[in-house]
Copies of this chain bind each other. A is one copy, B any other.
Amino acid sequence: MIEELIVTIGFDLGGTKMHAAAVDAQGNVLYSERQKTEASGGADAVIERMVGLVARLRQEIGPRGSHISALCVGVPGAVDSERGVVDKAPNLGWDNVPLGPRLTSALGIPVFLDNDVRVAVIGEHVYGVGKGARTMIGIFVGTGIGGGVIVGGHTHHGGRGVAGEIGHMTLVPHGPRCSCGRRGCVEALCSRTAMERDVRKLIKQGWDSKVLKLMRKEGRDDLTSSVIERALDDNDDVMRKVVKDAQYHLGLTVASLANVLDPEVVVIGGGVTERLGERFVAPIREHAYKHFLVQRDREKVHIVATELKDRAAPLGAAHIARERLAGRLDSAPGARHGTASWPVPSA
């Protein structure tokens, strides 16, 4: 098929929702749809729903449906992209799930897997705030903190293929316990989970706050981005202090990375940023700039909020599918020859 006509699907597989987009060679989204993941139903049921969603996309884009030539899934966890296996995705409750081969055999097209944050960083790089950047860093603040690094215009995978774990840089030695078991990681200080821990701690210490009431009102027992926004709008002291601390620590993290990598763009993404935008990023930028060793031209390091928001991952994934199909992503382990290494039935 002529390369220009090829359509690829970018699939963002989240713990709560899945979001797939059929994208043409120019980056136009021909059709996209979100559905609930319903991860509690188990891997088989989720994969079935994924296949169904792809079928919907195929149908919706009409005759061009036959041009769909590859799919890339951004997975919230660790993937073995060579074998097409999801090693571990805690939000899905998945361990060692051969997602690639399963989807390939159901859909009849090559399927590639990558980490969801890496995929979103590529989305911002190709279609969003990072267009044309040679060095770029992505930091995604959610229940955890994910990251991605682009160097020389390409995703940096590293020797073992596990680069980008910005959330697990140590920021405060002997600091608060992290989900990874260590202490003082960026994630243990700045994630939504860390913010919730600090909110509860302050309230326990006697601070007055409406946050718990707002959470109940939403029928949730965790601190969502929308609760954070409402509490800030209400000038809730606890929320303000906790967000301020997270911004300070994120600023230090951005500065440390900037001192080492001197990027052109640092994109801050994830749910909190999608909702608060510049209001969340401005103080991060300010703290970061203060901690740059070289102050000259510091504004050339653009520290910005995500532009594509939740479209970053599907757009990035669709781009990866296209590139891998064409064998161009030679920096990715396992993608050197542009083919998946599990059997791909002829389409």
Contacts and interface: CB of A to CB of B under 8 A. Distances in A.
Interface residues of A, number: 49
A182 interface: yes
Contact of A151 (B156, B169, B296): B156
A161 B262 contact: yes
Interface of A is mostly: loop
A152 B149 CA distance: 13
A157 B263 CA distance: 9
A222 to B, nearest CB: 23
Nearest to A253: B170
B168 A171 contact: no
A159 interface: yes
A200 interface: no
A84 to B, nearest CB: 18
B159 A260 contact: no
B294 A149 contact: no
A259 interface: yes
Interface in A296-314: 296-297, 300-301
Given A133-B159, A135-B163, 14 more contacts: A149-B260, A151-B152, A156-B261, A158-B262, A158-B263, A159-B262, A160-B262, A160-B296, A161-B262, A163-B261, A170-B291, A172-B173, A173-B248, A182-B290
Interface string A274-294: 000000000000000011011
Interface of A: 78, 133-135, 147, 149, 151-152, 154, 156-166, 168-173, 180, 182, 248-249, 252, 255-257, 259-264, 290-291, 293-294, 296-297, 300-301, 331
B256 A169 contact: yes
Contacts of A171: 170, 173
Contact of A159 (B156, B159, B301): B301
10 closest residue pairs by CB, A with B: A158-B262, A169-B256, A163-B262, A159-B264, A168-B293, A165-B259, A162-B294, A151-B151, A170-B252, A165-B293
A116 to B, nearest CB: 16
B260 A162 contact: no
A294 B169 contact: no
Contacts of A154: 152
Contacts of A157: 262
B301 A160 contact: yes
Nearest to A169: B256
B159 A263 contact: yes
Contacts of A297: 160
Nearest to A301: B159
